[in-house]
Structure 1
C-alpha cells in the first residue's frame, strides 16, 4: 500500500532534490517553503543543505579553468592515436 503524501511535508530525498535545485535557482517558491519547513526539524536535511552550500562555495572559489572545445578535441585525438599504437 502506498503511503499518502502530504502536500506540505516532504521526504528527505525530495528535500535533497529541492536543495540541489535551489543551488541553481531552479526551485519554485513553494518548493523552497517546503524545504525550509523540513529544514526546521530534520537534522539530516540541515546537514545536507550545509554540505551543499559548502561544496558550492568551494567550487566557486576554486577558479578552475576547463579545456576549450578545440583543446579537448585535440587531446582526445592524441589519446586515441596513442591508444591505437598500444594495440
Structure 2
C-alpha cells in the first residue's frame, strides 16, 4: 500500500488525536489531523468523545482508599469469607 503524504488513515488519526490530548503531537501531525477532521465524521466523533472523556477525568474528584484502609477491608472480607467455607 502506498503511503500518502497529507492524508492519513482513520487509525493513524486516532493515534494522533490521543497524542494531541497529552501534548505529544507535532505541529505537522496536528495539521494532518486537522485535514482529516474536516471530512471524516468518524474521526471527528472519536476526537469529540476523546475530549469529553479527558475533561471528565480531569474534573473527577476520586477519593481512593489508603493502603491501611485497604488492608483492613481485605482482612475483614477474608474473615467473613472464611465463615462460609
Q: TM-score, normalised by structure 2?
A: 0.77
Q: Runs (4+) of structure 1 moved beyond 6 Å?
A: none
The alignment yields a C-alpha RMSD, in angstroms, of 2.5
Structure 2 unmatched ranges of 5 or more? none
Asked which structure has the greater CA Rg, the reply is 2
TM-score by structure 1 length?
A: 0.75
Aligned partner of 1:29 among 17, 27, 52:
27
* Equivalent position of 2:44 in the other structure: 46
Q: What count of residue pairs does the alignment treat as equivalent?
A: 82
Q: Which residue in the other structure is 2:70 paired with?
A: 75
- Looking at structure 2, the residues matched to 66 and 8 of structure 1 have their Cα atoms a distance apart, in angstroms, of 45
Deviations 1:22-59 (A, max 9, x none): 00001111110000000001000100000001111111
Q: Pick from 3, 19, 30: which aligns with 1:5?
A: 3
